[in-house]
Structure 1
């Protein structure tokens, strides 16, 4: 259980359902919960630790039913098993081959089939999901199908009816649980207490909008170097948490609007920060609009809107549709009517100095594209 922090209840329940390796397990188990709540990690850790035969299938990768059947058979019965399927296998072909391979196999312990992103089964053949839920009965083998999904069972259940699986819910991690899990990733060059303090600051900013463990781990890894920057420069000590907080707070708030949205990669984010530090002097003297934090691609949209507003109409080659957020910020003003056939028209409402500053933060040479400067 040490490898499954904060998931003792779910792991214990799964162990109870599995029983001894030779015992007959329940035909199907439906595990649901939001993204990054430990569903896949817990089930795979248990199966590996118990050394049970299992097959893991990502339904995202299964572009055909035949590929799904192959990915079930290969881990359970070996590399030659898929060759027994017909070129375009049906469900009955899969059941026939599975039963044939079970007779040849000597192991009698429970086999497990883990279907990740199982909600995608609903888009495949109508009989596929009900069949997997009662596969134990169809193939006459001690096999358990485990379905992993972010969707609750009530929205998953087929309209035609099916065998009801056992339900197991993985709730979101609490703030304290996230603190415990993320603190285990402490940096080898610094004390665990310092890293735990950093995680506490990170969660103080992001927990209200993000509970995703993978996203938070990504953000922690991305921003820790900025957190320890004053330490590396010898300006503060590890005990000066208040000064460390003051240094990292604006950085985290900016990351909240860009990195978490994944509009930029980690490398682009770091490059953007370095560029903004160089251009900080040029931006300070601008209007209050300069303090508005815009997502990465929204800056390009605003630049394009400025070009379309002030360049001659004959040079405009683009159409702008998703501009409501820029209008709300009063960076664009509507100059047409909603009832016009060609949709409302907007005009960019920011100054040249402001748009030049914005363009520098994304390495865009604005002057090269302004008609008046050509």
Structure 2
């Protein structure tokens, strides 16, 4: 079983929450492979390699699977879909990706892995990879048609997004954020946790581990019991990482800038594409410690001079570059509204 997002939304903390919960069922094998960023600030591989090695040979993975029922690794080093890897090398510098191409890319890898149950996470909204209802329906029917040909049971999980997943963007910041969910830290993103639990519940129902409509509660119970955190530590250790890693021990860029609101109102949406432009200027995904942390999300009220975002960089030069980009794009749309007192 596996979960795969088509991406396009800033923040990558969902997969590393879903995988440890689902793999708490010993009879479910979860061979999760992820990619490096093509057009975004940080893909799942870019983020997870902050805390755990992600590149393995097939032989090394077979050895891991003899001891466990799960791994979270970079798929590009496994030669699962060699032609696809070549196409990605061309796409990356061009920053382009089509619907048919990414559906073929994702399903090809699932076939090569022998996965037979997959939840495809499809975020829809302004600034996401899929912005219109027509494109969503095209993605849905294409996934279902191709998966059915290869006997893969799929669930297309549609999410309407108006912002980013969680509050953090950038490898180290995103890592810190998903670890806080396992640690039950008061500062954790409740929105990230909720979305991850909904997707996990969907996958548990697809695999027959929960009755229809009961998957969310089952997933939540496993997370809150600490069982999933124990499983995450097992995954980290088996892949050669430090199982005692904590959210507080991660290095974050020390050169910072606070971006404040120029007007009062309500946050309408956060544009992921524009966020990626700023993060790329900060050095993401290569510079792991760089990134952005958002204090306001869609629906939140803001006053003039309220702190909206902190930019984290490793050098003054990178920060200056990012601030120039920030001055020329609208990352947060605020609609004017009378704020009640």
Instruction: Tell me if TM exceeds 0.5.
Output: no
Q: Name the larger-Rg structure.
A: 1
Q: Which structure's residues are more often strand, by fraction?
A: 2
Q: Which TM-score applies when normalising by structure 1?
A: 0.27
Q: Which structure's residues are more often helix, by fraction?
A: 1
Q: With a CA cutoff of 8 Å and minimum separation of 6, indicate the structure with the bigger relative contact order.
A: 2
Q: Which TM-score applies when normalising by structure 2?
A: 0.29
